[in-house]
A and B are shown apart, each in its own frame.
Chain A
């Protein structure tokens, strides 16, 4: 390890490469030697690796309290081409440490949870050998995510960006041979990868423009030149920020590229919690926040970002209302909440966006993990409680909320933590989600009234669908034998849940009105930090909206709980086609299929059959048959008669000699 040239303001800053290296060491250990380890050791190594990363992040945070201006730790020069020098350098500042703490902190809890969850999951799916592979991927994800959030330049950030995309692909397709027709999971993984690729393409174009206009990828160098470039090349910044937004919509699952995230639920539940709720999908929010000096000079881009976020928030929230799969509800909820964050950073309310990112990481990870605990309980009883209830087990989907009900009594601890997460997500005071969502709403109110209304509606729907989910899963009476015999999960699963539940309850203290710890902390990184107003009217209004949502959910789902898994949703009759639309995800997948994928396939077919097989192969085959025709023509000269050859040689010699004689005598 090379030491940085410049003096370190604090020796602790030299530890920063270890946030990446420790998970890498963990994954290498498990990769190379894991065959000999038992499950406990594999899980312990992976969890310790994530935990080690967390410890380093905490040390860095402590060092930052003394030197809040931050530090860039250069490890080596990555590439130097002509004027362009790209360093492999880690940026330690208040923003990156917040991300580091969230990623490694929530990540560690999820690693621990996964020891218990994957123990059952690999057996349920019939391949215990994949336990180790799961943790290798998980450590790889932590390492990539750390590269993403600690990068001091856009190119290094892009490495992390692609790394987390790869891990996402690998983990969505973890049970690649399972799913619909044995292809479902593989298709979901492919979809996530390809949709993300479209977004990455946008980010790449933005980076090309950046190289063209700034000649550098370094955050500080680029930000320092924003004024100059904005004047000399006025098209550069709008183009760059909007292409970057395309990258954000891919990674953070915003309209129009959100379609991969619901399908990504094919991955094991800890993956959904870690990658597709708490950390990776927030990379887009982080990117916009990190690029705030670029966005601030382009109001057009800021507006676009805010609108994309707000529309995604309301759109995804409507879909979540109509879902039946416990994880799909949470997936659409994640998209919706990401919409809140993207809207916040678009409006320039960076602290609110990051605050919501942090609290959302707590309660959404909690909800996913608790949902995983519910699924474990359902699967467990479906496997072990089969005697006496022989019929009806095979087809009971352990993720379908219609098959649940009454789990409050069967899985009390899971119920309580789920309730905490759901209330935090719904925005009920004084839980974490209330404060962060409130800040976003306050910012929206002064930014644009339409966006404000959209977000309020989304917040109402959030409370409604979370109420619906909790009531369908935990209240009423068990609707299937699987729910009847569900059992509480083991402590290795429930302890991380309790920790996350505490964080979800207390997360609001991070940026409590009045103290604004997070706001003051982030002040050192952001140019401008919005003032943290606490408007009682908005706070009261959002709380009222949340309670109203929960109350309506209770009116519909709680008063007369359904008794059969086959029963229609009570919303189906009054809403009719509207409910169909929500349940069918507004046919977006079908529209994409018809508008993008089908024409693409037709075009690909055109290129295959007439063009490739016809023209290209025609040229190749034509050359081949031409050569063959010539060769058979010339081949006739080879008669195989030695005497003919002798005669030919004689004639040749006579001709040559005759010519030479002619030349000599001339």
Chain B
């Protein structure tokens, strides 16, 4: 399959992710959209790595996955803490730092 298909899927996934982050108010869904963007990037990495027959892109994907896992752990913990105080995970209600 040509590289174009992979990249097109990656762009579609990334756009869905961006739209999800911007439009959805539920923090969990925002998180999932973020993961979608990570994976879109990962897909592009892998596709290019395959296309150019190098390993560095593959390696980078592993790196992104570990960091994403750590980020999710921190993010979920934050969310639990926020839910405990606010009884909600609506990101629009978390606006107490407004200037």
C-alpha gap A639/B97 in the complex (Å): 8
In contact, A642 and B99 (Cβ under 8 angstroms): no
Residues of A contacting B91 with CB < 8 Å? 641-643
In contact, A641 and B92 (Cβ under 8 angstroms): yes
Q: Within 8 Å of chain B (Cβ to Cβ): is A636?
A: yes
Q: Within 8 Å of chain A (Cβ to Cβ): is B95?
A: yes
Closest residue to A636 on the B side, CB-wise?
B99
Which residues of B from 63 to 99 have beta carbons under 8 Å from A?
91-92, 94-99
Cβ-defined partner of A639 (8 Å) among B23, B30, B98: B98
C-alpha gap A647/B30 in the complex (Å): 13
In contact, A646 and B95 (Cβ under 8 angstroms): no
Q: Within 8 Å of chain B (Cβ to Cβ): is A634?
A: yes
In contact, B21 and A638 (Cβ under 8 angstroms): no
In contact, A639 and B21 (Cβ under 8 angstroms): no
C-alpha gap A209/B59 in the complex (Å): 83
C-alpha gap A650/B34 in the complex (Å): 13
Q: Within 8 Å of chain B (Cβ to Cβ): is A449?
A: no
Residues of A contacting B18 with CB < 8 Å? 650
In contact, A640 and B95 (Cβ under 8 angstroms): yes
Residues of A contacting B95 with CB < 8 Å? 639-641
Q: Within 8 Å of chain B (Cβ to Cβ): is A537?
A: no
In contact, A646 and B22 (Cβ under 8 angstroms): yes
C-alpha gap A180/B94 in the complex (Å): 67
Closest residue to A634 on the B side, CB-wise?
B99
Q: Within 8 Å of chain B (Cβ to Cβ): is A637?
A: yes
Q: Within 8 Å of chain B (Cβ to Cβ): is A574?
A: no
C-alpha gap A127/B18 in the complex (Å): 83
Closest approach, in angstroms, between the C-beta of A78 and any C-beta of chain B? 61
In contact, B92 and A643 (Cβ under 8 angstroms): yes
Residues of A contacting B21 with CB < 8 Å? 643, 646
Cβ-defined partner of B22 (8 Å) among A636, A637, A638, A650: A650
Q: Within 8 Å of chain B (Cβ to Cβ): is A635?
A: yes
Residues of B contacting A637 with CB < 8 Å? 99
Residues of B contacting A634 with CB < 8 Å? 99
C-alpha gap A369/B21 in the complex (Å): 96
Which residues of A from 586 to 638 have beta carbons under 8 Å from B?
634-638
C-alpha gap A642/B93 in the complex (Å): 9
Residues of A contacting B99 with CB < 8 Å? 634-640
Chain A 551-586 interface mask (CB, 8 Å, partner B; 1/0): 000000000000000000000000000000000000
Residues of B contacting A642 with CB < 8 Å? 30, 91-92, 94
In contact, B22 and A640 (Cβ under 8 angstroms): no
C-alpha gap A639/B95 in the complex (Å): 7
Closest residue to B91 on the A side, CB-wise?
A642
Closest approach, in angstroms, between the C-beta of A647 and any C-beta of chain B? 5
C-alpha gap A634/B91 in the complex (Å): 22
C-alpha gap A646/B23 in the complex (Å): 10
Residues of A contacting B23 with CB < 8 Å? 643
C-alpha gap A22/B96 in the complex (Å): 72
Closest residue to A635 on the B side, CB-wise?
B99
Residues of B contacting A639 with CB < 8 Å? 95, 98-99
C-alpha gap A295/B43 in the complex (Å): 102
C-alpha gap A642/B24 in the complex (Å): 11
Which residues of B from 1 to 50 have beta carbons under 8 Å from A?
18, 21-23, 25, 30
Residues of B contacting A636 with CB < 8 Å? 99
Closest approach, in angstroms, between the C-beta of B28 and any C-beta of chain A? 13
C-alpha gap A612/B23 in the complex (Å): 56
Residues of A contacting B96 with CB < 8 Å? 640
Closest approach, in angstroms, between the C-beta of B63 and any C-beta of chain A? 21
Residues of A contacting B92 with CB < 8 Å? 641-643
C-alpha gap A643/B30 in the complex (Å): 9
In contact, B25 and A638 (Cβ under 8 angstroms): no
C-alpha gap A646/B99 in the complex (Å): 17
Cβ-defined partner of B94 (8 Å) among A635, A640, A647, A650: A640
Closest residue to B27 on the A side, CB-wise?
A642
C-alpha gap A646/B34 in the complex (Å): 11
Closest residue to A638 on the B side, CB-wise?
B99
In contact, B22 and A647 (Cβ under 8 angstroms): yes
Closest approach, in angstroms, between the C-beta of A125 and any C-beta of chain B? 64
C-alpha gap A253/B96 in the complex (Å): 72
Asked whether A638 and B98 contact (CB < 8 A) given A643-B22, A646-B21, the answer is yes
**Of listed B21, B96, B99, residue having the most chain A CB within 10 A:** B99
Closest residue to A642 on the B side, CB-wise?
B91
Residues of B contacting A638 with CB < 8 Å? 97-99
C-alpha gap A636/B98 in the complex (Å): 8
C-alpha gap A635/B98 in the complex (Å): 8
Residues of A contacting B25 with CB < 8 Å? 643
C-alpha gap A643/B99 in the complex (Å): 16
Which residues of A from 643 to 666 have beta carbons under 8 Å from B?
643, 646-647, 650
**Of listed B23, B25, B92, residue having the most chain A CB within 10 A:** B92
Closest approach, in angstroms, between the C-beta of B92 and any C-beta of chain A? 6
Residues of A contacting B22 with CB < 8 Å? 643, 646-647, 650
C-alpha gap A479/B96 in the complex (Å): 85
C-alpha gap A641/B23 in the complex (Å): 12
Residues of A contacting B98 with CB < 8 Å? 638-640
Closest residue to A654 on the B side, CB-wise?
B18
Cβ contacts A to B, 6 pairs, < 8 Å:
A634-B99, A638-B99, A643-B21, A643-B22, A643-B23, A646-B21
User: 9 closest A-B pairs (Cβ-Cβ)?
Assistant: A640-B95, A640-B98, A635-B99, A638-B99, A642-B91, A646-B21, A647-B22, A640-B97, A643-B22
13 new A-B contacts, CB < 8 A, other than A638-B97, A640-B96, are: A637-B99, A639-B99, A640-B98, A640-B99, A641-B92, A642-B92, A642-B94, A643-B21, A643-B23, A643-B25, A643-B91, A643-B92, A646-B22
Residues in A lying within 8 Å of B, measured CB to CB:
634-643, 646-647, 650
